Chains A and B, each alone.
Chain A
């Protein structure tokens, strides 16, 4: 199986499979990165205005950041599937 793979890779000089995997995670990390940044910015502003509510805001912020990060994880799983299966 390994010999067959090397032969096909030598035949196609463009390694599109690796390019696909790299592009999947690269483009997929853009959206969540911006999303989490906006989230944290608004959370810090809210904490600055109302320091007493800081624990509540912090808990909600971490929860929402996990939701946004899950999208990046989906892109990562697609990249891993392309690379390894």
Chain B
């Protein structure tokens, strides 16, 4: 049984390593883009069943985002980023439950190096998503509040207590990056290790409830990441009380 925290490198392209989790995130991207193009071509005013399903997902997430931002204009600005993060993470998580992920691989001196590994079990992947979320919050905050008011939240010279509060907020931004990435990484990696250990102990019938639990956890983690990104975007674009 081969468990490693770091994703295994399969080959290099122009000096950059290609890991098995990178291949899986490419598969997730291709899936999402293919569904988008398939939907665009057959989009009608009176929707068929698949289009109606996508519209239900879209509209429920729109209402959820509306209930947190309380402002339709902000919702329309934030919805693309939040929806993309949600759809990418949920696609990557659910694709990792298909048979073949973690089991098809290359034998290398009596350990199996899998070709596919769930995209979010790689800390690099989740760290990239977390950095995108935090940098986007700062970007939106700068654009809607202006430089002085945004920097004024963190470097506050009106008094000693305000200065320390601003410093703590700045440290909080770094801890936010770490907490986003480790929450997603820990949940997905623990789920993958659990399924691996179960499959190596009792591969028949027992993994079924755990696969169901992994479905649920994948959905919840995508939702939590997207909702937390949205909450921090809203906080960054609202005035300092």
Contacts and interface: CB of A to CB of B under 8 A. Distances in A.
Interface of A: 56, 59, 62-63, 66, 69-70, 73-74, 76-77, 80-81, 84-85
Interface in B206-233: 220-221, 223-224, 227-228, 231
B3 to A, nearest CB: 6
A74 B5 contact: no
A77 B5 CA distance: 10
Contact of B5 (A66, A73, A80): A80
B5 A62 contact: no
Contacts of B227: 59, 63
A84 B6 CA distance: 10
A74 B64 CA distance: 28
Interface string B166-194: 00000000000001001101110110010
Interface majority SS (helix, strand, loop, mixed), chain B: helix
B93 to A, nearest CB: 15
A12 B179 CA distance: 36
A59 B186 contact: no
A80 B196 CA distance: 14
Interface majority SS (helix, strand, loop, mixed), chain A: helix
Contact of B183 (A56, A73, A81): A73
A85 B5 contact: yes
Nearest to A73: B186
Given A74-B182, A77-B185, A80-B5, A62 B67 contact: no
Interface string B1-43: 0011100000000000000000000000000000000000000
B220 A66 contact: yes
Contacts of B220: 62, 66
A66 B186 contact: no
B124 to A, nearest CB: 15
Contacts of A81: 5
Contacts of B231: 63
A57 B144 CA distance: 30
A63 B224 contact: yes
Contact of B193 (A56, A69, A80, A85): A80
Q: Which 9 A-B pairs have the closest CB atoms?
A: A73-B186, A66-B224, A70-B183, A77-B186, A76-B186, A76-B190, A73-B183, A84-B5, A70-B179
Query: Which of B67, B224, B231 has most chain A Cβ within 10 Å?
Result: B224
B67 A56 contact: yes
A52 to B, nearest CB: 14
Contacts of A63: 224, 227-228, 231
A83 B168 CA distance: 33
A74 B223 contact: no
